[in-house]
Amino acid sequence: MTRFKAAYVSGTYRTGPAQFDSASLPVERRPVLFTAAPVPVTYAAPDPERLTAPAQPEDDALAETVLDVIVSRLEGQGQPAHQVWLPPLDEAPSMDELLPPLAPTRERGLQSADYARPGGLVVPLGLIDKPFEQRRDILYRDFSGAAGHMLVVGGPQSGKSTLMRTLVTGFALTHTPAEVQFYGLDFGGGGMSAIADLPHVGGVASRLDPEKVRRTIAEVSGVLARREEYFRAKNIDSIGTYRRQRAAGQHADQGWGDVFLIIDGWGNFKAEYDMLEGVVTDIAGRGLGYGVHVVITASRNMEVRASLKDQLLNRLELRLGDTMDSEFDRKVAANVPVGVPGRGQLPEKLHFMGAQPRIDKGHDPDTMTDATTELVRAVSAAWSGPPAPRVRLLPRKLRADELPKGFEYPQHGIAIGIDETNLEPVFVDFETDPFFVIFGESESGKTSLIRLIVKQIIERYGPDEAKIVVGDYRRSLLGVIPDSHLLEYAPIASALELHANALNGLMERRAPKPDITPQQLRDRSWWTGPQFFVIIDDYELVSTSSGNPLAVLTENLPFARDVGMRFIIARNSAGASRSMFETFMQRVKELGAQGMVLSGDPGEGDVFGGVRPGPCRPAAVSSSPASAACR
C-alpha cells in the first residue's frame, strides 16, 4: 500500500494577496562558502504593486477553476492529438474542391489538366463519409462499363435536380463537348434550365413543351439506331474500341461521342408520356453497347418498372420520403438527416454528400444558382470548338412545295409531311394501303391535309389514271379539285348515296372472274380504267343515326386495293372512339387502314392505332403559303 494525496482541480483558482511570480523578481547574488548544505536564495525587496492580487469574482460559480487555468496554459502547446470524429457532413463541397486546379486550354477548354483522360467516363459527384476509417473520399462514378446507366431516388427537396446539374457540370469540367453530349427532360423543379447553355448540352425540354420532349427522345433513339448501323458498316466490335479510336482522332465525321439522356422526374414523365416509356426502356436495354446512357431521377423505387430498373445499375439514394422504400439499408436511410439536400447513401451503405455545381469554393445554397450561371459562362467562354448537336425540331412552318412532288418517289407513294423521328418525308402509298383515316378536333387542319393529299395525287396521276369522288357536306373542298380529276362532288346525303351505289357496282364489275390467271392477279391487269379516290370530309356528318350512304360499300372493302378503289376519310376526334364500332369504319380499321391523329382532347382515349390525341399545332397546308406540321 502506498499513501498518496490527489490534487483537487475543480475548485476556484485563487492567487491570494501574498502570492507573486518569483520568476519575475530580482535575485540578490553574492559569493558564499560552498558546503553540502542548501543555499538560501535571497530576493530583493518586492515592488508593492507586484503584490497586488488580481481581482477575484465575487461569485465563485463564475470564477475559473484550477483545471480551466491548466487547460488554458496547455492550449497550443505541442503536436495536437488525432481527431477521432470528423466534423458533421452537412456542407456540400463545390466542384473545384473535388478536382485538381482548373485552367482554360485551347484544346479542351476549362478543365483540370491533371484529371483529363480522353476516352474515360469517370466523374466526381461529391464526398463519401467513411467513419470507421476516419476519413472522407471523393465520390466518383464510372459510366464506361456495365453501370453506364444511373438511377437517383430521393424524396421531395432531397437534391435530385441539383445532383443532375452536378453530374453534367462534372462532365463539363472533365470532358469536352466532342466526348460527351447531354439531352435533358426536366420534369422536376426546372433546375436543369440553368445548365442548358453549356456547350455539352444539346437541349433541355420541359413538361410545357411536349413537342420538344418527343423530339428529344426521338433524337437520342435516332443516334442509337444510326450508331448501330455505323458500327456494323465499320466493323467496330465495341464501344470501348470506338472511344479509343475517336480519342485518337478517328471517326471525325461522327458528331456524337457518349450521349446521355437525363430524365429528371420519372414519375411525372411516365404519367404524361406513357407511350414513350417503352422507347426509353429500349434505349436503356441497347444503349450501353453503343455509348448511349440513361440517367433517371425518381421519388420512389416503385415508380420504375423492373424491366427498366434492372438496366440502371449505377444507383444513389438521397433522403427518402419513406425510409422503408430503401433498397440499400433501411437503418442507414433513416439516419440520413432531414433538411440537408444532397445527403444520401450509397449501395455500400455509406453516407455521401453531393457537390454543388459551382467553382467559386462557395457553400451557401442561396447563391448556388448565380454560381452555376457563372460556371456555365466560364466553360462556354473557354470552349472554341463546336458544341453538342442541338435537338432538331419540326419546323414551325413547312411549305408544301418543300415536300417531294407526287411523281418523284413512285415506289414510296406520296409525301404528306415530315416525321419527328428522323425529320424525313412521310409517305402514304395507296397502291399497297388503300385506306387513310384522319382524326382531329375542329380547326386542327383536317381539311388542309386533304388539300395536300389531293395536290400530291394530281401530281402523281394523270386525268386518265385517277378520278376523285368527294363527299363534302360543308363544301370546304369546293373548287379545290380541278375538273380534270374530279368525277363527282356530293354536298348532300342523297348525292353521296347515289355515287356510293355507282362505286359499289363498279367494284363488283372489277372483281376477279373465275377464269383469271395468277399472272393477272399479280399485275392487276384484268380490269382497265382509272383508279378512284373517294374523299370524305367531316365523316361524322355522313355517318348519322339515320343511315350511312357508304354502308353499301362495306362488303366490297376487302377488295378495294385489287379493284383500284382508295378511301380518304377525315373525322372529328370528338366521339371517335365510339364511332369505331360503326360498321363501315370498323371494317376500314380491321383492314389495316393507315391514319393520322391531329390535335384533340386526350380524354377521348386511343382513337386510332393506340394513339391518343393531344395538343398540337394546326396543320395548315397549301401549295404556296407556309404549312405547319403536327404529329
Say yes or no to pLDDT of 24 above 60. Answer: no
Mean pLDDT rounded to a whole number for the chain: 87
pLDDT-based confidence at 2, cuts 50/70/90? Answer: very high
Residues 312, 242 within the same domain: yes
497 labeled binding residue: no
Contacts of 575 (CB under 8 A, 6+ apart): 540, 604
Tell me how long the chain is: 631
159 labeled binding residue: yes
In a domain, 17, yes or no: no
119 labeled binding residue: no
583 labeled binding residue: no
Residues 230, 259 within the same domain: yes
Say yes or no to pLDDT of 23 above 60. Answer: no
444 labeled binding residue: yes
Percent of the chain's residues with pLDDT above 70: 91
Query: If you search the block for the grid coordinates 523578481, which residue do you land on?
Result: 25
In a domain, 10, yes or no: no
pLDDT of residue 88: 86
49 labeled binding residue: no
- Which range among 59-73, 250-264, 475-489, 530-544 shows the weakest confidence by mean pLDDT? 59-73
154 labeled binding residue: yes
Strands ordered across the beta sheet of 594-597: 486-490, 466-472, 531-537, 565-572, 435-440, 594-597
CB 314 within 8 A of CB 163: no
157 labeled binding residue: yes
Residues 354, 428 within the same domain: no
Domain boundary among 382, 414, 430: 382
Does 623 or 538 have the greater pLDDT score? 538
Residues 599, 490 within the same domain: yes
Say yes or no to pLDDT of 394 above 70. Answer: yes
Helix (H, G, I), strand (E, B) or coil at 397: coil
CB 164 within 8 A of CB 262: yes
Cell of 344: 444520401
pLDDT of residue 7: 85
Cell of 192: 436543369
Averaged over 315-339, what is the pLDDT?
A: 93
Please state, as a whole number, how many other Cβ atoms lie within 10 Å of the Cβ of residue 26: 10
Residues 480, 615 within the same domain: yes
Query: If you search the block for the grid coordinates 367494284, which residue do you land on?
Result: 507
Residue type, 263: I
Residues 63, 211 within the same domain: no
Averaged over 459-480, what is the pLDDT?
A: 93
> What is the CATH classification number for the domain harbouring 249?
3.40.50.300
pLDDT of residue 34: 77
pLDDT of residue 27: 58
Residues 473, 575 within the same domain: yes
Residues 438, 294 within the same domain: no
pLDDT of residue 216: 94
Domain boundary among 382, 409, 441: 382
pLDDT of residue 622: 34
354 labeled binding residue: no
- In the chain the first and final C-alpha atoms are separated, in Å, by 99
Say yes or no to pLDDT of 610 above 90. Answer: no
* Integer angstrom CA distances of residue 157 from 28, 204, 297, 326, 569: 77, 21, 12, 17, 50
158 labeled binding residue: yes
Q: For 401-448, write each residue's pLDDT tens digit.
A: 889 998 888 888 999 998 877 788 999 999 889 999 999 998 888 999
In a domain, 248, yes or no: yes
pLDDT of residue 278: 93
**Domains contained in the chain, number:** 3
Q: What angle do the packed helices 277-286 and 210-234 form, to 10 degrees?
A: 30
pLDDT of residue 55: 56
442 labeled binding residue: yes
pLDDT of residue 6: 87
380 labeled binding residue: no
Q: For 343-380, write each residue's pLDDT tens digit.
A: 999 999 999 999 999 999 888 888 999 999 999 999 99
Q: To which H or E segment does residue 26 belong?
A: none
Q: For 556-600, write each residue's pLDDT tens digit.
A: 999 999 999 999 999 998 888 777 778 898 899 899 899 899 988
Residues 448, 533 within the same domain: yes
In a domain, 12, yes or no: no
Contacts of 271 (CB under 8 A, 6+ apart): none
Averaged over 615-628, what is the pLDDT?
A: 48
Residues 339, 466 within the same domain: no
Contacts of 441 (CB under 8 A, 6+ apart): 572, 573, 574, 598, 599, 600, 601, 613
Q: Show the domain range for 431.
A: 398-508+521-627
In a domain, 270, yes or no: yes
Instruction: Tell me which residue of 159, 230, 168, 212 sits closest to 188, measured CA to CA.
Output: 159
Spatial distance between the Cα atoms of 270 and 307, rounded to a whole number of angstroms:
14
pLDDT of residue 249: 87
Domain boundary among 12, 43, 74: 74
Q: For 537-563, write each residue's pLDDT tens digit.
A: 999 999 887 889 999 999 999 999 999
pLDDT of residue 313: 95
Q: For 498-550, write each residue's pLDDT tens digit.
A: 999 999 999 999 988 888 888 888 777 888 899 999 999 999 999 887 889 99
In a domain, 480, yes or no: yes
440 labeled binding residue: yes
Averaged over 265-273, what is the pLDDT?
A: 93
Averaged over 64-89, what is the pLDDT?
A: 85
In a domain, 346, yes or no: yes
DSSP 524-592: T-S--S-EEEEEEESHHHHSBTTB-GGGGGGGGGGGHHHHTEEEEEEEESTTHHHHTTSHHHHHHHHTT
pLDDT of residue 624: 30
Spatial distance between the Cα atoms of 374 and 377, rounded to a whole number of angstroms:
5
Residues 324, 467 within the same domain: no
Pick from 154-163, 205-214, 248-257 the range whose average pLDDT is largest: 154-163
CB 414 within 8 A of CB 456: yes
In a domain, 251, yes or no: yes
Averaged over 177-188, what is the pLDDT?
A: 94
Residue type, 164: M
Residues 469, 365 within the same domain: no
pTM score, whole prediction: 0.75
Spatial distance between the Cα atoms of 253 and 248, rounded to a whole number of angstroms:
14
DSSP 275-339: GGHHHHHHHHHHSGGGTEEEEEEESSGGGS-HHHHTT--EEEEE--SSGGG-SS-HHHHHTSPTT
pLDDT-based confidence at 26, cuts 50/70/90? Answer: low
Percent of the chain's residues with pLDDT above 90: 57
Does 236 or 610 have the greater pLDDT score? 236
161 labeled binding residue: yes
What is the greatest pairwise CA distance in the chain?
156
pLDDT of residue 628: 37
